[in-house]
Amino acid sequence: MLYAVWRARYFLAIINIRLSFSGSLTLFLSKSESCDFVISVFAPVCPEEINRILKRDAVFIRVYPFEKHLLSLKKLIYENIILNTLPDEKMEGLKLTESHTIKDIIHLESNYDILNLFMMTPYYY
């Protein structure tokens, strides 16, 4: 994983892009109005922080799981299933310009694949 991060930073430096990883509730590594592009994947979002770090006309992409995301996996783990809660799409200070719903069914062929998927989820911990 560390090697992948190093390679990504090396490539992005060539094209003058800085890459930063941070918790999404306190983006302490980013100066105010310093980001052209921010992406949040399956993480809670603090609208005030996102608004603080984005430059004018910047892009913010948010990826979040739908209600039944990995439902089959949850059924194997839990007796009582709790569906995911969808976040509010409206965020003060930001304008929604596009919204895409991506749904697909994956078929895992082996226990190894199932374990790898499971290890990428909060259910593993």
- DSSP H helical ranges for 1-125: 2-14, 47-53, 71-77, 111-119
pLDDT-derived band of residue 46, with 50, 70 and 90 as boundaries? confident
pLDDT digits (tens, 9 = 90+) for 53-112: 889 888 888 999 999 999 988 998 889 999 999 988 888 888 888 888 888 888 889 999
Count the neighbouring beta carbons within 10 Å of the beta carbon of residue 80: 5
Indicate if the pLDDT at residue 2 is higher than 60. no
Residue with tokens 């910047």: 58
Q: What is d(CA 9, CA 118) in angstroms, rounded to the nearest whole number? A: 28
Predicted structure pTM score: 0.72
C-alpha–C-alpha distance, residues 32 and 47, integer Å: 13
Q: What is the dihedral of CA 48, 42, 103, 114, to 10 degrees?
A: 180
